[in-house]
Structure 1
Amino acid sequence: MMNNPESSNTASIQRESLPGKTERRRARNASIFEGKLVKAAIGQSFSMLNPVVMAKNPVMFITEVGAVLTTLITIYDASTGKGGLIYNFAVLLVLWLTVLFSNFAESLAEARGKAQADSLKRTRQSTIANRLRDGKVTQVNSDDLQEGDLVVVSVGELIPGDGEVAEGVAMVDESAITGESAPVVREAGGDRSGVVGGTRVISDRIVVKITVSAGNSFLDRMIALVEGAVRQKTPNELALTVTLAGLTLAFLMVTGTLWPIGRYFGINLSVPTLVALLVCLIPTTIGALLSAIGLAGMDRALSANVLAKSGKAVELAGDIDTLLLDKTGTITMGNRQATSFIPLNGVEGRELARVAMESSFGDQTPEGRSILTLGENILGSDAPAEPAGADVIHFSAQTRLSGLDLPDGRTLRKGSGDAVQKYIVDKGGTIPGELQEIVDVVARKGMTPLVVTDGIRTLGVVELSDVLKPGITDRFRRLRSMGLRVVMVTGDNPLTAGEIARQSGVDDYIAEAKPEDKLEYIRREQQSGRLVAMMGDGTNDAPALAQADIGVAMNSGTQAAKEAGNMVDLDSDPTKLIEIIEIGKQLLMTRGALTTFSIANDIAKYFAIIPAMFLLAIPGLRMLNIMGLATPESAILSALIFNAIIIPMLIPIAIRGVTYRPLGAEALLRNNLLVYGVGGVLVPFAGIKLIDMILSITGYF
């Protein structure tokens, strides 16, 4: 008994129709400080004050320790009536705000990721599945399905788990995952066999083989990563964290020596003042925003409908040197269409059309169906009917042939020129001299020639037209401006591949590519010190996806491809690799820009605090008070307040990222130093002076 969605009250929990990508992209474009997210982030900010949590961020941990110490001293001074209570209270208040602002930045980034993960979470809820065992169908809960189980899914039913189509072909509505309303074809035996739990079959009937047990699906693991539950820092992030910890330790030692120096000059430096100096000296700005930048990078990848297995994968995408892109569906429109039949001398065009049609009856590819359409247009009522009892020879990357073995002993084949020639020679036949000339002429036009043969008799060539995707040449020009090499991978012969490469503007190409050719090319590039990214969808792509530094598997592809890659594109868009590279570069640029700004704005704080602390003992330091700050207390507090408020002001940049422009490394460095280096010096000077003026008006400092 099949599960009817109209009357599925027996289902434990029915999945809901989800806005998917649309919802996630709306969340991406929504205000950074959305009320619901801000409320959740504020609560999390206080929870993160736990020293065990804070210890993961050395810079902010030292700041918290300083805040605690200042609080204790302020309480002691208040109980004994000693010290400047207003000044001490102002310092401790700003110190705690600095810590909370840092926690808020990370919490807000996490909250945005969790909000976007909600749409993914709902796709893995439980439903009723029709499990097929020993020819019998029984209804079970989808949570009880195990790897290897076969499930029957009919029209209107939900696919209960991740798997591959083992039998049949159907149209599937994947809007719950991708947000795209157009249904897609999923069929057994090809590279479009992968299905995801929570999507709905809208035509025909398929049998799905479950490839991942419940609770351990790819989607489950990705949700955990998106939420930050199992996110680990990337190598670059760890290196920067260690550097910041080293700087913090160095400035801690420097600050510790100031107390005896102050005593020597007759200046009694209070602990709150020393703590304020330390917090202003250490790189608190980047220390506060570092985690938020990494979390936001994964968030932006998810907004682009890409699930990354780690933050490292997103970051590494920004350093890629070489892109391997399939020609069909990426560089060209895909779905090549048969445009003409070219018979050899002595062969009638109608005979070639008829045999080409017969060899394509078992070919379910768009190219095969276009041959049938072209043949029907030419032959009309004389078009052959599909023969009964024929054995279908499916196309493979190794043979590059397909066709039919008929019951009467005829063997019909079509395929690439060299593959058909090898087939005929192996059968004891001979190759007509004019065949290669026709193949070359078609290939030089940038079209794909398919040679048709009846047994060992070659009949002619089918011309398949490739059409470049609109704007693809401009996109490749953009990639080159980013310093990337684009390599086209195709099964076409070298002449066709060369012409398409010339038209599209790629840097290199691999013709007549087999799976081992891709793998060998990637290894060769990596041995030359280059980082390589590629996209694939088939099981035969799995070795290359695993070898590549960035392997992006299409969601529509096989489970082997998805497990081998370190990213999965839910849209199954072959050009998504370009967007992934830009997201990675934006992540690196954002981290570099804010690190530059953090270090630069420390310079202004040095000019504010150091002269103020020793002005009375060393009058000559007055010349360094270029900002003309009113009093030592006002100068110290102004620098500390600016140090705190700059963190929430930079949160939008940390989360949305620095605007990426495809410029060379030298131009990017120059712009970075100009905007965030020079700007990082000038902005604090103006900000600290403005705060000092406001504090002076109060009369307390």
Structure 2
Amino acid sequence: MNTSNREKLSLNEKIKEHGELIAALASGIIILIAWRLNVAGLETASVIAYLTAFVIGGFAKAKEGIEDTIADKRLNVELLMILAAVGSAIIGYWAEGAILIFIFAVSGALETYAMNKSHREISALMAMQPEEAWLVRDHLEPVKVSIDTLELGDYLLIKPGERVPADGVIVKGTSSIDEAAISGEPIPVSKNIGDEVFAGTVNLNGLITMEMTKPNNETLFQKIIALVQSAQSEKSPSQQFIEKFEGTYVNVVLITVAVMMFLPHFALGWDWTTTFYRAMVLLVVASPCALVASIMPATLAAISNGAKQGILFKGGLHLEHLSVLNVLAVDKTGTLTQGKPVVTDMIVRPDLDEKTTLHALASIEAQSNHPLAQAITRYAREQQVGEFTQPAIEDVPGWGIKATIQQHHYTVGKPEFVGKDEAAQFANHAADRLAQEGKTVIFMKDEQGIAALVALKDTVRQEAKDAVAALKQLGVKVVMLTGDNEKTAHVIAQEAGVDEYVAECLPETKVTYIKQYLASDKFVGMVGDGINDAPALATATTGIAMGEGTDVALETADMVLMKNDLSKIAYAIKLSRKMQRIVKQNIIFSISVIALLIISNFLQVVDLPLGVIGHEGSTILVILNGLRMLRKQD
């Protein structure tokens, strides 16, 4: 396919995706033209233009309303809006009917666009799953095959830099595995023979062979995808209530209009013209135009306000849920913390110079792409130790590095690699104390023994501490869900000031806890930035993604913090609570006006022009009230 054809296809896809919105905007332009034609005295041309606006703007919603009515075997608001517009036209009020269609078409187009966006994260997840694997059989050369052909018990070769194609256990080799896709933790995990590996994770440096222990459709990665799909298919309580109210409202209005077209003639002695006229007035004044305007302008204004502050909402329903948030669950890595390990402590043997020792250690670590090694080299540059040398090194995957600098031999890595007992006793058992503080400890050994230790930690963001405090002031309980071990989780939780924490969480564990909080607290938010957070983000009432997070987290979430600033969550809650107050004011006002106009119509004290003025006037007032949401919140 050439570039021109690809561009045409892309354009056609965009037109198809945004077709409803394009049609709604086109109908709005035609309405303006029709109004100008009417002002110029060209009534016939004006009516034709209004009819065109009816067809273009109302086609999609009319089709949807008819199809849903047939499928669900019950009437809906789409049909009511179309009938109200037709009723306006029947009694000669073309502009009112066309505007009614336009407002409803715009809101429907925005809803459709948001729904289309919400299904894209599954594609992003699937892209992380390898499609091929190196199959090893009968001591022959590895053969690349499709993962669909793999069977339980197959032996798979995984080269450095490749993704693990299936769940299984290592049977040969050692390596460091980046499990961020599963656990969200930035520090790779050392894997040896007998250790589990998961599909979608990345083999960093060693050549390993694994035995497949689970079918492709039962891998942890596939479970993440299934959890996202399941959570998205569940309707919120608010959505269920709205749908129930919609059906009741439509039935009541249509039944009342049908009765009005006959009963007053026989019961009250009205002539047929008056009876039909009053029924049409009722259909116009009872249309939910003001009710729609009660919510949409305030919601769009709030969304616009949030966007200016770096907060992106994916729809008004999420704003509604945020206003009643009771619990906020947060991921640790990249959310409460920086997401990158930094050096916090360095202890050098008394007979050595600290700067010289750091220079030697950094020269060795500069040869590695391991996140801990990169943190040490960054620290050394900050300490200005000078240009690094290039020692001869031997990388031992999963353990550490052996190096030679000017005939001096060094070993750098975990305690088991440099000598567990010696490492434990170094500097008066400093490693134990540092481990209790949730830090990862790396040792450097020379010919005389342990030369130094370096402690590293993923540090808590200052803005995260402030954000947690602000959320607690708003009455929101903050809970940390992390894949870290108990010690690290406890230290980070204390530093961040969260109310509760849960350690050693896999994606399934996070979803389990989110569901528990949903059962007890009803409205629960989840903040995350990794693929592993996607199921929990989708399960929570409000999923909140960090702007620098993975595409999957961004697509799954209901709200995105573009600047990775947790304090914006408190701002968003204040914004949503104000929006809810305005929406309630608008709904009460619009329903009161509709009720007043309906009663006045029964009493024959309001005619169609006054009914239209009351109906459209109430719509304008609720829109203006909703636009107050554009103001910045304190």
Class of the TM-score when normalised by the shorter of the 2 chains: 0.5 to 0.7
The structure 1 residue matched to 2:526, chosen from 527, 531, 534, is 534
For residue 280 of structure 1, report the CA deviation from its aligned partner: 3.0
Are positions 1:412 and 2:419 aligned together? no
- Structure-2 separation of matches of 1:543 and 1:244: 31
Deviations 1:554-604 (A, max 9, x none): 6766677678x3558595837498377678767766654543332232344
- Structure-1 separation of matches of 2:631 and 2:433: 43
Q: 1:652 to 1:47 in 2, by over 3 A?
A: farther
Query: Structure 1: which amino acid aligns with 2:440?
Result: L
Are positions 1:270 and 2:263 aligned together? no
Q: 1:441 to 1:403 in 2, by over 3 A?
A: closer
Q: 1:378 to 1:233 in 2, by over 3 A?
A: closer
Identity %: 21
For residue 270 of structure 1, report the CA deviation from its aligned partner: 2.5
Alignment of 1:99-138 (within 5 A): 99-109=97-107
- Aligned twin of 1:285: 290
- Structure-1 separation of matches of 2:108 and 2:264: 44
Query: Structure 1: which amino acid aligns with 2:377?
Result: L
Are positions 1:601 and 2:564 aligned together? no
- Structure-2 separation of matches of 1:113 and 1:283: 17
- Structure-2 separation of matches of 1:651 and 1:233: 28
Secondary structure, aligned partner of 1:598: helix
- Structure-2 separation of matches of 1:436 and 1:489: 30
For residue 271 of structure 1, report the CA deviation from its aligned partner: 1.3
Secondary structure, aligned partner of 1:638: helix
Query: 1:443, 1:495 within 8 Å by CA — same for their partners in 2?
Result: yes
Query: 1:37, 1:108 within 8 Å by CA — same for their partners in 2?
Result: no
Deviations 1:130-177 (A, max 9, x none): xxx9xxxxxxxxxxxxx99xxxxxxxxxxxxxxxxx969xxxxxxxxx
Secondary structure, aligned partner of 1:330: helix
- Structure-2 separation of matches of 1:429 and 1:279: 86
Q: 1:384 to 1:241 in 2, by over 3 A?
A: same
- Structure-1 separation of matches of 2:268 and 2:246: 31
- Aligned twin of 2:56: 47
Alignment of 1:289-308 (within 5 A): none
- Aligned twin of 2:83: 65
TM-score, normalised with respect to structure 1? 0.51
Secondary structure, aligned partner of 1:362: coil
- Structure-1 separation of matches of 2:476 and 2:234: 28
For residue 321 of structure 1, report the CA deviation from its aligned partner: 3.4
- Structure-2 separation of matches of 1:297 and 1:497: 36
Alignment of 1:105-254 (within 5 A): 105-109=103-107, 236-237=238-239, 239-254=241-256
Alignment of 1:366-381 (within 5 A): 368-375=373-380, 377=383, 380=386
Alignment of 1:567-606 (within 5 A): 569=560, 571=562, 573=564, 575=566, 578=569, 592-605=584-597
The structure 2 residue matched to 1:331, chosen from 336, 339, 360, is 336
- Aligned twin of 2:165: none
- Structure-2 separation of matches of 1:373 and 1:71: 73
Query: 1:44, 1:107 within 8 Å by CA — same for their partners in 2?
Result: no
Query: 1:247, 1:282 within 8 Å by CA — same for their partners in 2?
Result: no
TM-score, normalised with respect to structure 2? 0.56
Are positions 1:522 and 2:521 aligned together? no
Are positions 1:362 and 2:377 aligned together? no
Alignment of 1:616-627 (within 5 A): none
- Aligned twin of 1:638: 610
- Aligned twin of 1:450: 440
Q: CA RMSD in A?
A: 6.3
Deviations 1:301-321 (A, max 9, x none): 98868585x886676555543
- Structure-2 separation of matches of 1:458 and 1:466: 25
Secondary structure, aligned partner of 1:573: coil
- Structure-1 separation of matches of 2:511 and 2:359: 38
The structure 1 residue matched to 2:425, chosen from 421, 424, 432, is 432
Deviations 1:191-239 (A, max 9, x none): 599xxxxxxxxxxxxxxxxxxxxxxxxxxxxxxxxxxxxx999763453
Q: 1:37 to 1:238 in 2, by over 3 A?
A: farther
- Structure-2 separation of matches of 1:548 and 1:306: 17
Q: Which runs of 5+ in 2 are unaligned?
A: 8-23, 33-51, 69-74, 116-131, 133-145, 148-159, 163-176, 183-232
Query: Structure 2: which amino acid aligns with 1:432?
Result: Q
Query: 2:359, 2:385 within 8 Å by CA — same for their partners in 1?
Result: yes
Q: Which runs of 5+ in 1 are unaligned?
A: 1-9, 16-33, 73-91, 118-132, 134-146, 149-165, 169-187, 194-230, 394-401, 415-419, 614-631, 664-701
For residue 426 of structure 1, report the CA deviation from its aligned partner: 10
Query: Structure 2: which amino acid aligns with 1:103?
Result: I
Query: 2:26, 2:57 within 8 Å by CA — same for their partners in 1?
Result: no
Query: Structure 1: which amino acid aligns with 2:244?
Result: V
Are positions 1:387 and 2:380 aligned together? no
- Structure-2 separation of matches of 1:37 and 1:266: 41
Q: 1:562 to 1:658 in 2, by over 3 A?
A: closer
Secondary structure, aligned partner of 2:244: helix
Deviations 1:104-151 (A, max 9, x none): 22344567799999xxxxxxxxxxxxxxx9xxxxxxxxxxxxx99xxx
For residue 371 of structure 1, report the CA deviation from its aligned partner: 1.6
For residue 336 of structure 1, report the CA deviation from its aligned partner: 5.0
Query: Structure 1: which amino acid aligns with 2:613?
Result: I
